[in-house]
Chain A
Amino acid sequence: MGGPGAGGLKGLEVTPLGRYLARRLLQFVPTLLGALFILHYLMTVGIQLNGDPARAVFGDRTPSQSQLQAMQRVFGTDDPCFEQAGNPCLTVFVHRLENMAQGDFGVDSRERPVVTLIAEHAPITARLALLAILIELLVGVTAGVLAGLRGGSFWDYVVKVSTTMLVAIPIFVVGAVTQLVLGVEFGSWLKGVGAPDLLTGLFSIAYRTDQPWASLVMPAFVLASLSLATTARLTRTSLMENLRGDYVRTATAKGLTRNRVVGVHALRNSLIPVITNLGISFGNLLAGAVVTEGIFNIRGIGGLVFGAVATGEAATVVSVVTILVLVYLLCNLIIDVLYAVLDPRIRLD
């Protein structure tokens, strides 16, 4: 059991690592194209089955031919292939790919570029995700350490039961109930006693622009809940495993204090799988953020998606999700590559 990072830069000269990186990059391209194609195909089939989303924008009004054509051009659904069921519309897909390569992800019904919309809404989502990661680490690791220090203890039991609950109960139920208990009951009580703005912000049932961080704490807790449970369980098992390790016994035998043995030796090694898991759970966090924003009515990227769903702007939904998937895949790639470079123990085949 050596620490990470020892293989570091030297590893780049080793051919297995280079081969691994090359293979990983080569796999990335077809996976990316495939995922983008699935999204494109879903949209194509949807249009072929349900009619043009350009028409849906007008709602009950009957648009004139020129109005409809203009909207079709805006959405990029003016190709005749959209009227032939079963046609995968490959030319449209290639055209979209070209546009994406130039940073053009289409526009919404009011002809605002989707990229601009994302840029407007991303800061809130980024804050939410950042808070969630912090909470996941702080609460998850603390709970895991409490449980792992003494298996079978009261704290171990508490952590076990609560993490099981968190894993099993759907995130929106956790959100709704948190909103009810903390937001409505406790929040209105706080307002009643005239608590400072920061506190009422913390327990507000919706996002408040005057409290851009505090009012996101509760949603972030909800968002973090799922990966928090995994983090706590991982910390627990790996701490327990490490505490049984030979090097911990050696450290204890040397006469180090318990705090030092746990803090410096065992905990540091136990956190390696926890950090790994953090990387893996990032994608779930992204998808979860969309749901959480839906629950708490936060106008981030998730809010953008739901707004588009509600007004029937299918093309915008697909464009936004496409960008999310791109970010998700890129993150996965970066995490994989970082691990290959940083952790010499990783198997490269």
Chain B
Amino acid sequence: MSDVVLEVRDLTKHFPLTKGIVFKRQVGAVRAVDGVNLTLRRGETLGVVGESGCGKSTLAKLIIGLEKPTSGEILVQGQNLARMRGSALRRARRNIQLVMQDPYTSLNPRMTVGDIVGEPFQIHPEVAPRSDRRRRVGELLELVGLSPDHINRYPHQFSGGQRQRIGIARALALRPEIIVCDEPVSALDLSIQAQVINLLERLQEELGLSYIFIAHDLSVVRHISDRVAVMYLGKIIETGVDTEIYDHPTHPYAQALLSAVPVPDPTLRGLRDQIILEGDVPSPANPPSGCRFRTRCWKAREVCVEQEPALVEREGSAHPSACHFAEERDVVHATD
């Protein structure tokens, strides 16, 4: 299992804040992603969770190459994607593909399904000879559970779930090893969500794909992920195998987040240890010193202001946790 397909090292993305009427000068930066480390192995799903605005989507854009990082490395097959340009970047991109959140806006309304799914072949003509493309598009549609007869239809003739399948087919066209799923089901109805998740799992098994699965819905992430990383204000604050995170969270923020997940068993209602956070998420343009969570944390002490806690295994935590006072607390199950 040490077959690493993607490694992210100290990745940061700062969006400059400028001031001035004629000559813009930089007065600060929004630290959307601020020193993120990730490892993704072959055939594995890494879930990334966090509130909206915590930098999840920027992280996805950085990994996929839609944004240039301020610093840090994105290593795919030993090559640093962040440094590549031109045709080398274009070739490297074949290996990482994206599935977007909103199936209603992620497909060009003026292109047929055949054109949409076949576009990767037009951009990377070396992947498939022209004569073979139509057949391949048909195969891809079949692979994601759509009829190849639909090849000449337009996106608006499909339902949301079907559109997301088209988006997945497009992402699969170049036979990538890695697929970044940026909230791939949150725009869908609940019943359709399950179908798409099942499809993603089946494809992973059949094709040996690795997923980075970004979502704010913790139960969906738990269902599909092998490992989970929790993000807060541009940083990963806790990471580990899914059962470790879900059953034994040690960072106060992760605990708060998990305590808010609804559980299906009504007898547990009111018996759980619910944590309600106070205050708002601080601005990423001016994050707190030391631990970023300290402004809302009930455990905060002097040391949290002065020292930034590293993401490491600690006394109270068997998996990496960025809290000086990491300690287990069961928030998912009933307290008694």
Q: Which residues of A contact B (CB under 8 A)?
A: 19, 22-23, 26
Contacts and interface: CB of A to CB of B under 8 A. Distances in A.
Contacts of A19: 21
Interface in B28-72: none
Interface in B12-37: 21-22
A9 B22 CA distance: 26
Contacts of B21: 19, 22-23, 26
Contacts of A23: 21
A19 B22 CA distance: 11
Nearest to B22: A26
Listed from nearest, the 5 A-B pairs whose CB atoms lie closest are A23-B21, A22-B21, A26-B21, A26-B22, A19-B21
B329 to A, nearest CB: 45
Nearest to B20: A19
Contacts of B22: 26
Interface of B: 21-22
5 contacts: A19-B21, A22-B21, A23-B21, A26-B21, A26-B22
A26 B22 CA distance: 8
Nearest to A22: B21
Contacts of A22: 21
A21 to B, nearest CB: 10
Nearest to A25: B21
A23 B22 CA distance: 8
A23 B19 CA distance: 12
A157 to B, nearest CB: 35
Nearest to A20: B21
B74 to A, nearest CB: 34
A22 B22 CA distance: 10
Nearest to B21: A23
A23 B24 CA distance: 12
A236 to B, nearest CB: 33
B182 to A, nearest CB: 28
A23 B21 CA distance: 6
Contacts of A26: 21-22
B63 to A, nearest CB: 32
B307 to A, nearest CB: 37
A31 to B, nearest CB: 14
B185 to A, nearest CB: 35
A293 B22 CA distance: 42
A19 B21 CA distance: 8
A346 to B, nearest CB: 18
A186 B21 CA distance: 59
A331 B22 CA distance: 24
B179 to A, nearest CB: 38
B22 to A, nearest CB: 6
A22 B19 CA distance: 13
Nearest to A23: B21
A72 B57 CA distance: 68
Nearest to B19: A19
B17 to A, nearest CB: 14
A22 B21 CA distance: 8
B118 to A, nearest CB: 41
A14 to B, nearest CB: 16
A41 to B, nearest CB: 25
A273 B7 CA distance: 56
B327 to A, nearest CB: 46
A29 to B, nearest CB: 11
A26 B21 CA distance: 8
A112 to B, nearest CB: 41
A157 B21 CA distance: 49
A57 B43 CA distance: 88
A245 B21 CA distance: 39
